[in-house]
């Protein structure tokens, strides 16, 4: 598929981005080994896609190290995005969007990634304790120093997006060109405010969790334990209490009904359920790129299949109907 312009900028990005949250180990438990992750990166780039998204938070920085090693020798063909803002240590300045933290965080990310610049540097989460002017001035300094090409954010509210753009304008600095937000058939919340505001203020949208944490891939069944290698299975294994909390959300009847419809369409088309969910999201207004997070090459293949899958109009209508915000589900 052709690349898309990211927000009100000249940067063109692939319509699918490789998310790397699963690269490495979490709490000492391997999720995706460096060897498998390197294969995934290679297959992603060989398929003609360019945008790789990571963060300093992912598995304590291990994901950035794995990405850096995987793209060595191919850096010029990669649009490299990373994020900062989550805690990276126990100190009072080891988190947030202050000048003190962001400056150290960027230098640490560049070392782990083995590069002298990132193409897209993003605020991972809002920071209510730091004036937005300080954050935007710091980010603008990174751009002026050549260490960052473009700026973005993640998980901001509509109001926070507007404040950030206004702050950039007031200081005469580089604005944000992208915003990351959760978006899928089971969570269409951003359609109400985030997408319209992003469009008006020049931000492209990078969507994460396109499979609703796996439920749209058909991995979870009613009254059946989650597969041990699934995200819910791993969470449950580490904490039964947290697993029950996740299950209440992931296995809500409305989400399972939507997953049933995805599976029905997938069966009719002879395609993976994941490909159907991605194909629906690909065509939504305002979406610049879909961040996918495979743990295996096979999962990557299912995601990429969705980029070339054409949904018949009646299938798209059925998916729109069953997933529309506020829709009632009989028996829920």
The pLDDT tens digits for 257-283 are 999 999 999 999 999 999 999 999 998
Task: Say what the pTM is.
Answer: 0.92
CB neighbours (10 Å) of residue 329?
13
Query: Cα–Cα–Cα angle for 282, 307, 155, nearest 5°?
Result: 40
Q: Answer for the pair 152, 122: CB distance below 8 angstroms, yes or no.
A: yes
When pLDDT is cut at 50, 70 and 90, the band that residue 219 belongs to is confident
The pLDDT tens digits for 19-48 are 999 999 987 788 999 999 999 999 999 999
Question: What residues are annotated to the active site?
Answer: 58
Alpha carbon distance, N-terminus to C-terminus of the chain: 38
Q: Among candidates 118, 78, 84, which has minimal Cα distance to 99?
A: 84
Burial label, 20 (beta-carbon count in 10 A; 0-12, 13-18, 19+): buried
pLDDT at position 29: 81
Whole-number percent of the chain with pLDDT over 70: 89
> Is it the case that residue 330 has pLDDT exceeding 50?
no
Q: Answer for the pair 310, 279: CB distance below 8 angstroms, yes or no.
A: yes
The pLDDT tens digits for 103-144 are 999 999 999 999 999 999 999 999 999 999 999 999 999 999
- Note the CATH architecture for domain 4-214+273-311: Alpha-Beta Barrel (3.20)
Mean pLDDT of the chain: 92
Q: Among candidates 300, 107, 82, 271, which has minimal Cα distance to 180?
A: 82
How far is 143 from 137, CA to CA, in rounded Å? 10
When pLDDT is cut at 50, 70 and 90, the band that residue 331 belongs to is very low
CB-based contacts of 13: which residues, under 8 Å, 6+ apart?
Answer: 3, 4, 5, 6, 50, 51, 79, 204, 288, 289
The pLDDT tens digits for 163-200 are 999 999 999 999 999 999 999 999 999 999 999 999 99
pLDDT at position 329: 45
Q: Give the C-alpha distances (Å, rounded to integers) separating 76 from 71, 143, 160, 252, 260.
A: 9, 18, 33, 44, 42
């Amino acid at each position: 598929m052709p690349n898309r312009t990211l927000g009100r900028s000249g940067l063109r990005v692939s319509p699918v981005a490789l998310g790397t949250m699963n690269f490495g180990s979490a709490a000492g438990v391997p999720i995706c080994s460096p060897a498998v992750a390197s294969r995934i990166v290679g297959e992603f780039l060989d398929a003609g896609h360019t945008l790789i998204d990571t963060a300093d938070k992912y598995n304590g920085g291990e994901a950035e190290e794995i990405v850096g090693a995987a793209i060595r020798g191919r850096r010029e063909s990669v649009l490299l995005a990373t994020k900062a803002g989550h805690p990276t240590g126990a100190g009072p300045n080891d988190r947030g969007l202050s000048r003190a933290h962001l400056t150290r965080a960027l230098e640490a990310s560049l070392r782990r990634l083995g590069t002298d610049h990132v193409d897209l540097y993003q605020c991972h989460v809002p920071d209510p304790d730091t004036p937005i002017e300080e954050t935007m001035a710091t980010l603008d300094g990174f751009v002026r120093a050549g260490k960052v090409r473009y700026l973005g954010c993640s998980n901001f509210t509509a109001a926070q997006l507007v404040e950030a753009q206004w702050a950039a304008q007031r200081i005469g600095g580089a604005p944000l060109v992208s915003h990351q937000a959760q978006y899928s058939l089971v969570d269409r919340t951003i359609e109400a405010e985030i997408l319209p505001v992003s469009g008006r203020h020049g931000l492209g949208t990078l969507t994460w969790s396109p499979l609703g944490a796996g439920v749209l891939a058909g991995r979870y069944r009613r009254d059946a334990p989650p597969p041990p290698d699934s995200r819910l299975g791993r969470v449950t294994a580490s904490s039964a209490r947290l697993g029950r909390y996740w299950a209440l959300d992931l296995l809500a009847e409305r989400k399972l009904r939507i997953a049933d419809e995805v599976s029905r369409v997938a069966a009719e088309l002879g395609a993976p359920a994941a490909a159907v969910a991605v194909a629906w999201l690909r065509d939504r207004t305002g979406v610049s790129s879909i961040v996918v997070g495979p743990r295996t090459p096979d999962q990557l293949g299912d995601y990429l299949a969705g980029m070339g899958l054409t949904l018949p109009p009646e299938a798209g209508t059925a998916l729109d109907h069953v997933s529309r915000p506020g829709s009632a589900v009989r028996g829920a």
